[in-house]
A and B are shown apart, each in its own frame.
Chain A
Amino acid sequence: MKQIVAVVALATLAILLWQLAPIAMPSGLGVVAQHYAEHGVQDNRGANLVTSVVVNYRGFDTLGEVTVLFLSVSGAAFVLRRRTGLEVHEPRRASEIVRTGARLLFAPIVLFGTYIFVHGHLTPGGGFQGGAVVASGVLLLLLANKDHPLPHGFLSWTESLSGLGFVAAGLAGLWAGGSFLANRGILPLGTWNQLFSAGVIPVIYTFVGLKVGSELATLLDVMMHAADEEVHQ
């Protein structure tokens, strides 16, 4: 019975999607996309148009996404919070090669993640991607040594301050340019395709990168330690 229902549901979905396909694949750009494509470069001087859309035109959505991520990480940290007073079983240690390699690779990985979000307005990628790469560097450290001490105070301060910075940049746009997150009158737009260009966009994307990186690093740390306790209880 269950399988019949599943098959019928799948078939219905397939028929619906088949009919939607021509609508979902329009032949040209829509009106809004056309505007972004034509005005993106002169509005923002960003070489990467996707970043202009994500951080400037749709910056408010990005703020919402960052907030959702923050809430989910806080929720995970609340549910899986570390309980003290449990006897901690000595975990099997990673080999010397893994530990040394992790320490060696941590700095280049974090540097690469930083490069991705600092160059978000020039090359593909940006705050979310760079932040994820930074967090994967932290993950490597945690895999090599589960009890590697993480600077929790530093992480939570980075996270909070970069969130505040994002909102502050948005308010600065409201003050100087007339609308929230407007990219006018705060920082000079500069020359197209230079590192210091595109006005406030790289600043905001750096905040997003720092925020996402510290949030994901905290989430991984919380998950790793929550996993322990269940096993050793």
Chain B
Amino acid sequence: MDIVTLFNLEDLLICAVILVAALGAVLHRNLLAAVVFAGVVSLAVSYLFLRLSAPDVAMTEAAIGAGITTVIFLIAVRRTEEVEREEP
């Protein structure tokens, strides 16, 4: 299976979104923003799962990855500090 037949232009765009959002999640100093970036990664990945004919996995990823996990992380961030400290 060739990668060009598997992915059309939109899918590659979604892949780019995943990469950018993942970098944002890792690099952003504001943890609230980082959590939202991680949620965007999950949402975009769930679209990819759908495109790869795995609707069951896509639903799990959207409901648990983008929904519940994001909320749990947000609550945890609220409990701690919102901005990551510089490493000593």
A31 at the interface (CB under 8 A from B): no
Kindly list chain A residues whose C-beta atoms are within 8 Å of the C-beta of B76: 223, 227
Given contacts A129-B63, A132-B64, contact A223 B75 (CB under 8 A): yes
Q: How far is the CB of A80 from chain B (nearest CB, A)?
A: 9
B78 at the interface (CB under 8 A from A): yes
B75 to A231, Cβ gap below 8 A? no
Kindly list chain A residues whose C-beta atoms are within 8 Å of the C-beta of B86: none
Stretch at the interface among A120-128, A178-186, A193-201: A120-128
B64 nearest CB neighbor, chain A only: A132
Kindly list chain B residues whose C-beta atoms are within 8 Å of the C-beta of A136: 63, 67-68
Q: How far is the CB of A73 from chain B (nearest CB, A)?
A: 11
CA distance A116 to B58 in the complex (A): 14
Given contacts A136-B63, A223-B75, contact A125 B56 (CB under 8 A): yes
CA distance A182 to B67 in the complex (A): 33
Main secondary structure of the interface of A (DSSP, over half): helix
Q: Of B60, B75, B79, which one neighbours A128 at CB under 8 angstroms?
A: B60
The number of residues on chain B lying at the interface, defined by a beta carbon within 8 Å of a beta carbon of chain A, is: 16
A126 to B56, Cβ gap below 8 A? yes
B56 to A50, Cβ gap below 8 A? yes
The number of residues on chain A lying at the interface, defined by a beta carbon within 8 Å of a beta carbon of chain B, is: 25
CA distance A111 to B67 in the complex (A): 18
A120 nearest CB neighbor, chain B only: B56
Q: Of B55, B56, B79, which one neighbours A226 at CB under 8 angstroms?
A: B79
Given contacts A48-B56, A224-B75, contact A25 B64 (CB under 8 A): no
A144 at the interface (CB under 8 A from B): no
Which B residues from 2 to 24 make CB contacts under 8 A with A?
A: none
CA distance A128 to B63 in the complex (A): 9
A49-63 CB contact bits vs B (8 Å, 1 = yes)? Answer: 011000000000000
B79 to A135, Cβ gap below 8 A? no
Q: Of A128, A132, A219, A230, which one neighbours B67 at CB under 8 angstroms?
A: A132
A216 at the interface (CB under 8 A from B): yes
CA distance A134 to B71 in the complex (A): 14
Given contacts A223-B75, A230-B79, contact A124 B55 (CB under 8 A): yes
B59 at the interface (CB under 8 A from A): yes
A223 to B72, Cβ gap below 8 A? yes
CA distance A230 to B58 in the complex (A): 35
